[in-house]
């Protein structure tokens, strides 16, 4: 039976279910009608032929710094002109709008950061000319120095651990930390 005296549902739940179902139905009708058309807007895309500055970032072992945060600072500004991320190949491009010294900073959030100065010269053309500053493409230490540094750290930590163990007072045989004492 589905009457008001139906005892199959716990008392007080049928009106709640009806109210909840009515609210869901009203929300669906609102979404499916004119609300979505009123909130939508069109988009336009175009390919712009403009000189851009593309920067390549990699770690010193040659691995590209893929998907890392990049910030571009324009000449004379403290706030970033543009921010984004490198692609999977470690490349980031931007289109400068004025001449002067620009700074492109890549930061992977794990302690690796590289600041790349870029000089943009005004050629009195519609788009400025971009030239990168001189210097090596990839800077850093060679693999041998990294291996030696790693071994030095390992041996240094091992020595510290041995010194710590040797400097602790010796315990009598049979007595362990946390063992109950004999009366």
Structural domain includes residue 12: no
In percent, how much of the chain has pLDDT > 90?
A: 32
148 in a domain, yes or no?
no
Query: Are the CB atoms for 103 and 116 separated by under 8 Å?
Result: yes
Residue 127's pLDDT is 54
97 located within any domain: yes
Tell whether 156 is covered by a domain: no
Confirm whether 114 is domain-assigned. yes
Query: Above 90 in pLDDT, residue 106?
Result: yes
- What is the C-alpha to C-alpha distance for residues 27 and 19, in angstroms, rounded to an integer? 12
| pLDDT score of 8 more than 80 | no
Residues 6+ apart with CB under 8 A from 65: 57, 58, 59, 86, 90, 106, 108, 112, 114
Give domain status of residue 126, yes or no: yes
Confidence label for 48 from pLDDT (cuts 50, 70 and 90):
confident
How far CA 33 is from CA of 25, 86, 105, in Å, comes to: 12, 41, 47
Residue 149 to residues 62, 65, 111, 113, Cα–Cα distance (Å): 19, 23, 18, 20
Residue-wise pLDDT tens digits, 146-183: 788 888 899 899 988 888 888 887 777 766 666 566 66
> Residue 103 is part of which domain span?
53-132
pTM of the model: 0.50
Region 6-17: what's the mean pLDDT?
Answer: 55
Q: Burial level of 29, CB count in 10 A (0-12/13-18/19+)? A: exposed
CATH of residue 59: 2.60.40.10
Which of 134, 129, 96, 136 shows the shortest CA–CA distance to 117? 134
Is 1 within a domain?
no
CA separation for the pair 55, 92 (Å, rounded): 5
Query: How many domains would you assign to the chain?
Result: 1
Answer yes or no: is 35 within a domain.
no
- Of 49 and 125, the structure prediction assigns the larger pLDDT to 49
The residue-averaged pLDDT of 89-110 equals 93
Average pLDDT along the chain: 76
Instruction: Please determine, for residue 87, whether its predicted confidence score (pLDDT) is greater than 90.
Output: yes
């Amino acid at each position: 039976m589905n009457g008001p005296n139906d005892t199959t549902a716990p008392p007080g739940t049928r009106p709640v279910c009806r109210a909840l179902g009515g609210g869901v139905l009203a929300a669906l009708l609102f979404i499916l009608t004119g609300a979505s058309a009123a909130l939508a807007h069109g988009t336009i895309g175009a390919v712009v032929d403009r000189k851009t500055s593309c920067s390549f970032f990699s770690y010193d072992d040659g691995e590209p710094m893929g998907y890392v945060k990049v910030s571009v600072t324009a000449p004379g500004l403290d706030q970033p002109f543009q921010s984004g991320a490198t692609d999977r190949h470690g490349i980031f491009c931007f289109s400068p709008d004025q001449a002067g010294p620009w700074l492109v900073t890549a930061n992977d959030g794990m302690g690796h950061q590289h600041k790349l100065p870029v000089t943009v010269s005004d050629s009195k053309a519609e788009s400025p000319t971009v030239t990168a500053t001189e210097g090596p493409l990839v800077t850093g230490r060679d693999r041998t120095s990294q291996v030696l540094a790693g071994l030095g750290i390992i041996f240094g930590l091992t020595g510290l651990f041995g010194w710590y163990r040797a400097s602790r007072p010796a315990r009598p045989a049979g007595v362990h930390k946390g063992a109950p004492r004999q009366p």
